Amino acid sequence: MQALADIPPRQQHQALGVSTFAFTVCFAVWTIFSIIGIRIKQDLGLTDTEFGILVATPILTGSLSRIFLGIWTDQYGGRIVYTLLMVVTAVAAWMLSTVSTYPMFLLAALGVGLAGGSFAVGIAFVSRWYDRDRQGTALGMFGIGNVGAAVTNFGAPFLLLAFGWERAAQIYAVVLLVTAVLFYVATKEDPVTSARKAAGEKPRSALLQLEPLRHLQVWRFSLYYFFVFGAFVALALWLPRYYVGVYGLDVKTAGMLAAAYALPGSIFRALGGYLSDRYGARLVMYWTFIVSVLVCFFLSYPSTDYVVRGVEGPISFNITISLPIFVSLTVVLGFVMSLGKAAVYKHIPVYYPEHVGSVGGLVGMIGGLGGFILPICFGVMNDFIGVWTSCFMLLFALVGIALVWMHFAVRLMERREAAERLDRLPELPELLSVHAPEHHGALGPRGRTPPPGAPAT
């Protein structure tokens, strides 16, 4: 295989830049229902539950498709898989403008959702252009493509008001098709795929690609991503509806404020990758979850009226999160989520360098399922509980579970590592200098020799 050090930096940067742009466009298409779904809800008279299902349906396809798209990328290379994916999704986005009933909208949304699978393809494709020390930063840069959600929340309302939602869907389809052509022309085959084809090697079977999925660690990473990515997508889809329902804003203003949440949740992903490279992904995950627990706790507190029996009679007051404070808290939440998304994917090429596509696809699939399941849960909780902030109550519980599981898993690993280090020590370290080398550790349970660097006799 061509050494990564021999690849011109310009070629690496071009692969990263074009892949990131393509992912941005795909992500914008993937979240299009966050805006046009509001108008469709009004036109069809949908309940909050039906609306939640509609905006979540593309997320389902984008999530489930990630695992086999990741495998195909490992087998056939990201260049061809990425291009074909965008072409098929562009056709589905155009067909969206031709339907008129709720079941047909759901069917079209399944096709549009393929755009979400682009993440698994791009992660595997980009990781092969960089060595391990720079993969965290590179994948964090690629993850900036999440800003596509902000592009939709900010730009789609203007297209909606100017041309109608049908024409907006057609514009998205054309842009995605042009992006597919640009990507294919501007990129080359990644070094791993090129080397395999040059050597005449056959790609590994799908079963071999799925082998790492038996590790519990992979599923723990998936839970992390369920929150930092799944909840991010869910809120990007749900916040416009939340702003309209809670604060009485119009669609354009609601979309712009939702973009204020989605923007830091996207552009700072590169910072998360850099911090993971420099200080470790584990530390970044701790900060992500701790801050998220605090923010979700405050956001989950519903507007409440209190009456206190005072000295001179009842005293009434109200506790409500004002719009500026609410927006600020969502921006903080989006920021730490962006760091966490990069930290999760920093782990994968380090632990599973030969299975980035399959492992990254599974983690991305579980995370994407969060974007499918959570909006539905938000709608159901609104309909049955009747409290707007119930969505943040659910997120508070979710991130709390993730934080506790991560902490206990880390402590267990630390105890195991400490036990292994103690087991490698000689029984009487102070007597090392008077024993021959062949006797070092001879009294141990497995006759181990002392670790490298022990004093010589």
Q: What is d(CA 417, CA 411) in angstroms, rounded to the nearest whole number?
A: 10
Q: What is d(CA 295, CA 299) in angstroms, rounded to the nearest whole number?
A: 6
Which pLDDT score, from 0 to 100, does residue 453 have? 45
Angle at 112 between CA 107 and CA 117, to 5 degrees: 120
Considering the domain boundaries, does residue 436 fall inside one? no
Which pLDDT score, from 0 to 100, does residue 449 have? 45
Considering the domain boundaries, does residue 3 fall inside one? no
Buried (b) or exposed (e) across 78-88, using 16+ Cβ within 10 A? bbebbbebbee
Nearest alpha carbon to residue 373 among 230, 235, 261: 230
| φ, ψ (nearest 5 deg) of residue 301 | -75, 120
CATH number of the domain where residue 136 is located: 1.20.1250.20
Q: Tell me which residue has tokens 């969060």.
A: 370
Nearest alpha carbon to residue 334 among 263, 425, 434: 263
User: CA torsion sign, 319 to 324 to 326 to 332?
Assistant: negative
User: What is the number of structural domains in the chain?
Assistant: 1
Which pLDDT score, from 0 to 100, does residue 401 have? 92
3-state secondary structure (DSSP) of residue 310: strand
C-beta separation of 99 from 105 below 8 A = yes
- How many other β-carbons are positioned within 10 Å of the β-carbon of residue 394? 18
C-beta separation of 152 from 25 below 8 A = no
> Largest Cα–Cα distance in the chain?
89
Which pLDDT score, from 0 to 100, does residue 419 have? 67
Angular region, 178: left φ>0, alpha ψ -120 to 50, beta rest: alpha
Mean pLDDT by runs of 10 across the 457 residues of the chain is 64 87 89 79 81 81 80 81 92 84 86 86 83 75 78 79 83 92 87 74 57 70 87 85 85 82 75 82 90 93 77 75 89 90 78 67 77 84 84 92 88 74 53 50 45 41
Considering the domain boundaries, does residue 425 fall inside one? no
Which pLDDT score, from 0 to 100, does residue 422 have? 56
Q: What is d(CA 334, CA 271) in angstroms, rounded to the nearest whole number?
A: 13
C-beta separation of 338 from 264 below 8 A = yes
Q: Which range marks the domain in which residue 193 is found?
A: 9-420
| pTM for the predicted model, two decimal places | 0.65
Considering the domain boundaries, does residue 450 fall inside one? no
Considering the domain boundaries, does residue 128 fall inside one? yes
Q: What is d(CA 131, CA 378) in angstroms, rounded to the nearest whole number?
A: 41
Considering the domain boundaries, does residue 1 fall inside one? no
The two structure tokens encoding residue 12: 């690496």
Considering the domain boundaries, does residue 22 fall inside one? yes
Considering the domain boundaries, does residue 454 fall inside one? no
